């Protein structure tokens, strides 16, 4: 039985082209980019500079505004904790975020609360949208930072980040966005968005795991998070993961260049499954009903008659790899904080499934997924709903 992998919000396979671009940096150009007094190091430095330029161009940033990190989680932690600690020195110890952020943001915020910071967790509506008016109302004279994600990893909601950033600018508050799910799926232009910081992660757009980046607008200066050498202009120490950084930059360039075409292909698969699910009994689709306002690859639904874990087992038996809620929440029995925040009761939140398509998927995969859904619906009709 072949496997249908439809959990691309958790991670994606590295494309052949990206792998080929990375390979020389393990074995041939293995120099340390900081050792520029001989050719092997110099070649590594040139590759690093080129990767930074490629990354900046794809985001409409300046190369000097791109800082490579070990993952999206590190970029999020740096933005949130680094800004909080910088602004605390000016008496600003209040932070604003949303209730549906990734744990990389939420747990960083909780750690700051233990250090004496105050955090406002904004609610979202039934489709997962943050209301920009709520952001404005929550800003106080001591607010240091607003961090609202660009697109939600579980239910695909695309947040009004440009509007939120505009409010922040007007109020003199720094603005960060976790764009880990957005980059490579929808257009991301840091200047058009007007944010001060933006996080991304290579493995969510067919790049390698273990490498991310934080865009930091010129003039913004979160406290250094990783102390050590002078890498990344003295702001993020540690010998650069050069192969990974090259992989990130090439994957990003490819994702951004082919974005329209890719998004159309993803949306066709998403819509085939959404249409199918919408016609099933006892099902609720989570996230925006207006499909233009959800990620092109995201399906999330609650099936009243089955538990998320048993749905996954059933799909797994058919060779389909999906997720109950979020890869990070599955494995625990706590229902997803995102599904609870959009108002689902615990028992419905437990019966939820996320399907996220990637460039390597085909319409046949989408048909395989909704074929399994039809079998599920038939067995659900044959059984009484679980309490
Ligand atoms: C995956 C993800 C992260 C974490 O990125 P890693 O590179 O896996 O650490 C952060 N935020 C969102 C929204 C994500 O989807």
Per-residue pLDDT reduced to its tens digit, 117-168: 999 999 999 999 999 999 999 999 999 999 999 999 999 999 999 999 999 9
Residue in 8, 99, 102 to alter for ligand 1 test, most ligand atoms within 8 A of Cβ: 102
pLDDT score for 374:
54
Residue with tokens 């995102």: 338
Interhelix angle 72-88/103-114, nearest 10 degrees: 30
Q: Which of 286, 287, 277, 282 is nearest to 386 (CA)?
A: 282
Residue in 7, 180, 183, 325 to alter for ligand 1 test, most ligand atoms within 8 A of Cβ: 180
Average pLDDT over residues 211-234: 96
pLDDT score for 373:
54
C-alpha 354/C-alpha 115 separation (Å) is 35
Strand partners for 201:
212
Outline where DSSP puts E strands in 240-351.
Answer: 283-285, 298-303, 320-321
pLDDT band at residue 56, thresholds of 50, 70 and 90? very high
**328 among known catalytic residues:** yes
Statement: residue 40 has pLDDT above 70: yes
Q: Quote the tokens at residue 133.
A: 């008016």
pLDDT score for 16:
96
pLDDT score for 1:
62
Statement: residue 48 has pLDDT above 70: yes
Residue with tokens 């969510």: 204
C-alpha 188/C-alpha 295 separation (Å) is 13
Question: Average per-residue pLDDT in the chain?
Answer: 91
C-alpha 312/C-alpha 364 separation (Å) is 19
Q: What's the CA-to-centroid distance between 280 and ligand 1, angstroms?
A: 31
DSSP state of 325: S
Tell me the C-alpha to C-alpha distance, in Å, between residue 223 and each of 77, 159, 226: 11, 27, 9
C-alpha 205/C-alpha 12 separation (Å) is 6
Residue 338 · residue 128 · CB < 8 Å: yes
pLDDT score for 326:
44
Q: What is the dihedral of CA 308, 314, 316, 318, to 10 degrees?
A: -150
Tell me the C-alpha to C-alpha distance, in Å, between residue 241 and each of 213, 255, 317, 328: 12, 21, 38, 25
pLDDT score for 166:
98
Q: What's the CA-to-centroid distance between 180 and ligand 1, angstroms?
A: 6
C-alpha 78/C-alpha 64 separation (Å) is 17
pLDDT band at residue 325, thresholds of 50, 70 and 90? low
Q: Quote the tokens at residue 192.
A: 């058009």
């Amino acid at each position: 039985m072949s496997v249908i992998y439809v959990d691309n919000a958790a991670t994606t396979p590295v494309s052949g082209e990206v792998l080929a671009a990375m390979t020389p940096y393990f074995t041939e150009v293995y120099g340390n980019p900081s050792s520029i007094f001989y050719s092997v190091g110099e070649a590594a430095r040139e590759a690093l500079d080129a990767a930074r330029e490629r990354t900046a161009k794809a985001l409409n940033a300046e190369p000097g505004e791109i800082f490579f990190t070990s993952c999206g989680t590190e970029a999020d932690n740096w933005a949130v904790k680094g800004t909080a600690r910088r602004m605390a020195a000016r008496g600003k110890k209040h932070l604003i975020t949303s209730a549906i952020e990734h744990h990389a943001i939420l747990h960083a915020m909780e750690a700051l609360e233990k250090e004496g910071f105050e955090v406002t967790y904004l609610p979202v509506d039934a489709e997962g949208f943050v209301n920009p008016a709520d952001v404005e109302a929550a800003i106080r004279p001591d607010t240091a930072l607003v961090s609202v994600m660009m697109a939600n990893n579980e239910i695909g909601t695309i947040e009004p980040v440009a509007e939120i950033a505009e409010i922040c600018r007007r109020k003199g508050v720094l603005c960060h966005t976790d764009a880990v799910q957005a980059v490579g799926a929808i257009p991301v232009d840091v200047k058009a968005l007007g944010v001060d910081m933006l996080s991304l992660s290579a493995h969510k757009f067919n790049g390698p795991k273990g490498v991310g980046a934080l865009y930091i607008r010129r003039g913004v200066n979160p406290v250094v998070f990783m102390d050590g050498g002078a890498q990344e202009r003295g702001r993020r120490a540690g010998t650069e993961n050069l192969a990974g950084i090259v992989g990130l930059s090439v994957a990003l360039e490819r994702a951004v260049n082919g974005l329209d075409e890719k998004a159309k292909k993803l949306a066709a698969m998403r819509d085939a499954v959404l249409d199918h699910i919408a016609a099933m009994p006892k099902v609720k689709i989570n996230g925006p009903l207006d499909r233009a306002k959800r990620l092109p690859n995201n399906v999330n639904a609650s099936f009243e008659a089955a538990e998320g874990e048993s749905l996954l087992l059933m799909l797994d038996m058919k060779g389909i790899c999906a997720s109950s809620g979020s890869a990070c929440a599955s494995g625990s029995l706590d229902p997803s904080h995102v599904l609870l925040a959009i108002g689902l009761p615990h028992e419905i939140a437990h019966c939820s499934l996320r399907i996220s398509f990637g460039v390597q998927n085909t319409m046949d995969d989408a048909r395989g997924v909704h074929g399994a859904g039809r079998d599920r619906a038939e067995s659900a009709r044959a059984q009484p709903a679980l309490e």
